[in-house]
């Protein structure tokens, strides 16, 4: 009778009295899948009429899905924000090359803090936050390092950003814990296979792990396995789109294999899997862009909106979350889930918010906020403030204001995203008070960024570090052309820095 009375009383309790079990500090294994240049519209679950991504769709169906999640317009900036919890410009990252992709050595990374809290850490794929020894992931908290150099396989630029010489998407030479390995197979397959082997070894140790798998695909050049590209031939697509979708098919297959292994190993319910893309779309946007304006490399929503799936079977209840969230939230969220205390000296670094309340309840209270976007990429050694309003944006939940000015004065346009997510109608004249508030927030933010843009005068080494390591290991040397430090991206006559670091050495990071 007593048990019956307790059961009846429980049924009569108001629904509000129930609180979901807290997930903070549960210390899951963490697998982070990050694709390169896949847009929000490049998933069949998001409405793409041609591309088929059944495994990623299945992952999304089991996830908390952030539907208004934003990253940076390009690669290295997003990666720096994800790993530090603050905007890329405050990390010194204002470009993807020219030493301006280097994550300031004063930043503390997510991997470093997870490592201090007994996680094992591994990266498999694209780092793109500095190729010189002190900037590489092995010095930034990753115990297992299996990466290509620069911003992409085979990409080499003057200075410090570049991959091993003559690398290709097939059989690339990959830097594995300081030593190059000449791999066999397609690059995405190589990264996932290595990550899977490492995860298998870590699951047996009893320690939680953080596996970061940032593929270079589907970044250009658009080179797919012939059998993957063939799936999209004859559908009226451009050759680039055929290869691009083929590359995404290959990612989807690899992700499906990895998720299946988690089930086989019996660790799926102990593992949080996060899937994102790093910036707006590229080759696929002409096929489908989810109703958004523009693409990668722009401050429009088509340049920043990202997929953000968080799957933790048995712990997170799948569903959509409409809260305005961003890449800077990734760092504090994972630290809270891992039960890692944020050191006092690192607290000022973190601008993002933990998403844990939203992961527990997608409709949890979430205060409005400002997010800031700037494409950066101004001319080398120029004054950043001359480009303050060039390709820039500021937004809150309802409003987005964009400037694509050619000069030093802004040309703000205002959009009401509650009725115009495609950013088609400028309503600034009707809402001057909103424009004033957003412009003021942007000006304040820009002032905070300027002192932290520490790479603007940096001069890189004469030879790319990855080339130097490669030739040291295998013999040979760069040819004369590779030794030239001419920068094709700096217009003729553009000023050089007043103070340069000695040739062959990086400028000091402040």
pLDDT tens, residue by residue, 379-424: 999 999 999 999 999 999 999 999 999 999 999 999 999 999 999 9
pLDDT score of 505 more than 90 = no
Please report the domains of the chain, with CATH numbers, ordered by start residue.
29-360 (3.40.720.10), 371-452 (3.30.1120.10)
pLDDT at 27: 98
Q: Using one digit for the tens of pLDDT, what is the confidence trace for 250-268?
A: 999 999 999 999 999 999 9
3-state secondary structure of 68: coil
Burial letters for 432-460: b for 16+ Cβ neighbours within 10 Å, e otherwise?
A: eebbebbbebbeebbeebeebbbbbbbbb
Give the sheet arrangement for strand 179-182, strand by strand. 179-182, 173-176, 144-148, 120-126, 209-214, 29-35, 271-277, 308-311, 63-66, 319-321
The pTM of the full predicted model, rounded to 2 decimals, is 0.91
What is the SS3 assignment for 413? Answer: strand
Look at the block and give the residue holding tokens 């958004």. 292
The dihedral over CA atoms of 169, 75, 313, 85, expressed in degrees to the nearest 10, equals 150
Distance (Å, rounded) from C-alpha 218 to C-alpha 360?
32
pLDDT at 206: 86
Q: How many other β-carbons are positioned within 10 Å of the β-carbon of residue 66?
A: 25
Helices and strands, number each (H, E), in the chain? 13, 17
Tokens of 1: 């009778």
Helix (H, G, I), strand (E, B) or coil at 188: helix
Mean pLDDT, residues 122-148 taken together = 98
Q: How confident is the model at residue 465 (pLDDT cuts 50, 70, 90)?
A: very high
């Amino acid at each position: 009778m007593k048990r019956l009375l307790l059961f009846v009383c429980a049924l009569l309790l108001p629904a509000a009295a129930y609180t979901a079990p807290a997930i903070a500090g549960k210390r899951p294994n963490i697998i982070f899948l990050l694709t390169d240049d896949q847009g929000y519209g490049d998933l069949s679950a998001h409405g793409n009429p041609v591309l088929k991504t059944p495994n990623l769709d299945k992952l999304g169906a089991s996830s908390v899905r952030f539907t208004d999640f934003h990253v940076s317009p390009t690669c290295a900036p997003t990666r720096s924000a994800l790993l530090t919890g603050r905007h890329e410009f405050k990390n010194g990252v204002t470009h993807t090359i020219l030493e301006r992709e280097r994550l300031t050595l004063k930043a503390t990374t997510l991997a470093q803090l997870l490592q201090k809290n007994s996680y094992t850490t591994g990266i498999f794929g694209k780092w793109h936050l500095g190729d010189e020894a002190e900037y590489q992931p092995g010095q930034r908290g990753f115990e297992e390092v299996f990466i290509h150099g620069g911003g992409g396989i085979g990409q080499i630029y003057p200075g410090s950003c570049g991959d091993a010489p003559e690398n290709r998407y097939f059989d690339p030479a990959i830097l594995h814990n300081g030593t190059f390995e000449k791999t066999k197979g397609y690059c995405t397959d190589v990264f996932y296979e290595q990550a899977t082997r490492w995860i298998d070894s870590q699951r047996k140790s009893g320690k939680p792990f953080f596996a970061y798998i940032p593929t270079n695909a589907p970044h250009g050049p658009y080179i797919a396995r012939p059998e993957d590209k063939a799936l999209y031939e004859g559908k009226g697509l451009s050759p680039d789109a055929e290869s691009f979708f083929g590359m995404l098919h290959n990612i989807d297959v690899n992700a499906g294999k990895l998720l299946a292994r988690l089930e086989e190993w019996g660790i799926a319910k102990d593992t949080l899997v996060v899937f994102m893309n790093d910036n707006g779309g590229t080759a696929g946007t002409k096929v489908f862009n989810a109703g958004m304006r523009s693409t990668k490399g722009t401050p429009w929503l088509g340049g920043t909106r990202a997929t953000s799936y968080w799957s933790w079977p048995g712990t997170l209840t799948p569903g959509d979350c409409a809260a305005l969230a961003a890449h800077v939230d990734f760092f504090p969220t994972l630290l809270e889930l891992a039960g890692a205390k944020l050191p006092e000296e690192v607290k000022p670094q973190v601008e993002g918010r933990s998403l844990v309340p939203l992961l527990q309840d997608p409709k949890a209270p979430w205060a409005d906020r400002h997010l800031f976007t700037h494409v950066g990429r101004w001319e080398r050694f120029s004054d950043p403030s001359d480009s303050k309003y060039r390709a820039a944006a500021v937004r809150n939940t309802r409003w987005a204001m964009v400037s694509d000015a050619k000069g030093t004065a802004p040309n703000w346009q205002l959009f009401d995203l509650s009725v115009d997510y495609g950013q088609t109608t400028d309503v600034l004249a009707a809402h001057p008070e909103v424009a004033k508030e957003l412009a003021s927030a942007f000006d304040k933010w820009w002032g905070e960024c300027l002192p932290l843009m520490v790479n603007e005068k940096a001069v890189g080494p004469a030879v790319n570090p990855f080339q130097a390591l490669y030739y040291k290991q295998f013999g040979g040397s760069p040819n004369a052309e590779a030794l030239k430090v001419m920068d094709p991206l700096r217009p003729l006559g553009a000023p050089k820095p007043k103070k340069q670091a000695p040739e062959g050495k990086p400028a000091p990071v402040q």
